[in-house]
Amino acid sequence: MQLSEDQVRQFEEQGYVFLPSQFTEAEVAAMKADIPRIFAMDRQEVWREKDGKSVRTAFAAHTYSEPFHRLAHHPRMIEPVKQLLGGDVYVHQFKINGKEAFEGDVWQWHQDYGTWKRDDDMPEPRAMNISVFLDEVTEFNGALMIIPGSHKAGVLEAGHDLETTSYPLWTLDKETVARLADEGGIVAPKGPAGSMLMFHGNIVHASPPNISPWRRMITYISLCHCDNHIRQFKRPEWIAHRDFTPIECMADDCLLDLSRQPAE
Amino acid sequence: MQLSEDQVRQFEEQGYVFLPSQFTEAEVAAMKADIPRIFAMDRQEVWREKDGKSVRTAFAAHTYSEPFHRLAHHPRMIEPVKQLLGGDVYVHQFKINGKEAFEGDVWQWHQDYGTWKRDDDMPEPRAMNISVFLDEVTEFNGALMIIPGSHKAGVLEAGHDLETTSYPLWTLDKETVARLADEGGIVAPKGPAGSMLMFHGNIVHASPPNISPWRRMITYISLCHCDNHIRQFKRPEWIAHRDFTPIECMADDCLLDLSRQPAE
């Protein structure tokens, strides 16, 4: 699985590539089968919304869930990223964002690499995000909004917002977001569960609260070039991983294999 | 200006009719020209968001703004409503919802007639809402979501939510909204400024916060059949009007006329 020249060019110019239905329904079902167990866990990795109940994000699920372990080694995700980043990659962060029906809260306008640089001392933006939709994403359930081309702005000034949601985030000011959106517009890729969105670590993005009755669960995997590993270990290991071993891909049918087996 | 048979049927079956670009750019401009003055007013009708600054809604603007007075008498809005409600109508409520860029807050899932019945003792749902877009409404800036067909459910049980936003609202429980949306789906009519959305007083609707850098200002006019006027005067007069005089339409070019005149 390699991206086409057009897709590589789109990534360079627009900062993102969207691949609808990159994973099949059966593969998505194999992952979702483990969600009730994960979301019921009482552990620090499973971060709740301000209501104390709804799951905002489940960090590091690839370390305690077999299907998500396999996703983190899946060639249909890893190979295109190695192509774009030019070499071996490791998992810097892994999370399942719940964006629960009615309760899923906002993710404010931010850049991910800004955080990785400030908090984790990651040398360069040779790292990126890959989101895999676990539910259909529509205009109603809190689709991710991204500003095309905003990755070219470099690392923008940000403030540490400790109040808006249950999770602290380095967020951008209104003037900067407005200026970039007026220049580049906004897009919100939508598609069926199994779709995959790849975006540059410096892309400016946000997602609104989900007021709809339909959950919008997405897995976000942040992959970093192995040479570009973080230098500072201020954040917990389950938020910013310290194992810089190159990912070795599993077989293309590794998730499908799992879906064929009865759940244990 | 009369609705077609198809449009009347759609209103009866789906509970709404959407008329893109019902007003021209010049007519919208004539209304928007008065917005800075209105939103700067320090008066009880101009209701702020929780931040105490952004305008959430400006009630009764047709009583202190010439262009909005004219909108409230515009045949392109009044005539189709008289057709649907079968007779003379009066203005029960008039508001301009600011839904300001970045700051515009949620309107939770609710029915309007539920409030009119509980708070104002309006006898029957022979009243409806007409929204006129003052900005382009897109998938990004907090489009109104409505559940087609939900007006057939009658008045649903509701709780008085005094906490979520700065404005108290009778809101529906999650189970009811989920059931109705699973049956009827959700639609979010989008279109240029000047578009007009007409919906039944019992339609279930909501709008998400506006996290985009683009304002989404909409005027909502609630018109009621004159025979069906409210019986209880619990809410302030500027929220639930007590003048039941039938609206007499002005000329079709009344807004255009205004846009031709220099602002005073």
Residue A262 pLDDT? 60
Mean pLDDT calculated for residue range B43-52: 94
What is the band of A1 on the pLDDT scale with cuts at 50, 70, 90?
confident
Looking at the DSSP assignment, which residues form a beta bridge with residue A49? none
Q: Is the Cβ pair A211, B208 closer than 8 Å?
A: yes
Work out the burial of residue B74: count CB atoms within 10 Å of its CB; fewer than 13 is exposed, 13-18 middle, 19 or more buried.
buried
Q: How far apart are CA B103 and CA A208, in angstroms?
A: 12
Largest CA distance in chain B: 52
The alpha-carbon radius of gyration of chain B (Å, integer) is 17
Contact B89, B248 (CB under 8 A): no
Instruction: Kindly provide the b/e burial profile for residues A124-138, where b requires at least 16 CB atoms within 10 angstroms of the residue's own CB.
Output: ebbbbbbbbbbbbbb
> First CA to last CA across chain A, in angstroms?
31
Q: What is the mean pLDDT of chain B?
A: 96
B260 backbone φψ class: left, alpha, beta (φ>0; ψ -120 to 50): alpha
Mean pLDDT of B94-114: 96
- B259 pLDDT above the threshold of 90: no
**Average pLDDT estimate for A123-143:** 98
Which residues of B are less than 8 Å from A140 in CB distance? 145, 186, 188
Residue spans of beta strands (DSSP E) within chain B: 16-19, 46-48, 55-59, 89-97, 107-110, 127-133, 145-146, 159-161, 169-171, 196-200, 205-207, 218-225
Q: What is the mean pLDDT of residues B20-31?
A: 97
| Residues of chain A found within 8 Å of residue B109, distances taken between Cβ atoms | 211
Residues B7-39, buried b or exposed e (16+ Cβ, 10 A)? beebbeebbbbbbeebbeeebbbbbeebbeebb
pLDDT at B173 over 80: yes
What's the sign of the alpha-carbon dihedral B37, B42, B45, B50?
positive
Q: Which pLDDT band, with edges at 50, 70 and 90, does B263 fall under?
A: low
- Give me the amino acid identity at B31: M
Provide the pLDDT confidence category of residue A185 given band limits of 50, 70 and 90. very high
Residues of chain B contacting residue A174, judged by C-beta atoms under 8 Å apart? 101-102, 213
pLDDT value at B260 more than 80: no
Residue B149: C-alpha distances to residues A86, B76, B157, B176, B244 (Å): 53, 25, 17, 14, 29
Distances (CA, A) of B165 to A209, B54, B106, B190: 14, 12, 7, 24
CA A21 – CA A190 distance, rounded (Å): 11
Chain A residues bordering chain B (beta-carbon distance below 8 Å)? 101-102, 106, 108-109, 139-140, 142-143, 145, 174, 177-178, 181-182, 186, 188, 206-209, 211-214
Tokens describing residue A157: 């000034």
Residues in chain A within 8 Å Cβ distance of B102: 174, 177
- With CA atoms as reference, the chain B residue closest to A206 would be B211
Mean pLDDT for the stretch of residues A62-88: 98
| Homologous superfamily (CATH) for B5-249 | q2cbj1_9rhob like domain (2.60.120.620)
Q: What is the pLDDT of residue B226?
A: 98
How many Cβ atoms from other residues are within 10 Å of residue A216's Cβ?
24
Q: What is the pLDDT of residue A259?
A: 73
Q: Note the pLDDT of residue B95.
A: 97
DSSP E strand boundaries for chain A: 16-19, 46-48, 55-59, 89-97, 107-110, 127-133, 145-146, 159-161, 169-171, 196-200, 205-207, 218-225
pLDDT by residue (tens digit) across B197-234? 999 999 999 999 999 999 999 999 999 999 999 999 99
Is the model's pLDDT at A116 over the cut of 70?
yes
Mention every residue, 6+ apart, whose C-beta is less than 8 A from residue B121.
B230, B231, B232
Per the CB < 8 A criterion, the answer to whether A55 and A46 are in contact is: yes
The whole-chain average pLDDT of chain A stands at 96
User: Which one of B211, B215, B216 would you mutate to disrupt binding with A, by most A Cβ within 10 Å of its Cβ?
Assistant: B211
Task: State pLDDT tens for residues B226-255.
Answer: 999 999 999 999 999 999 999 999 999 999
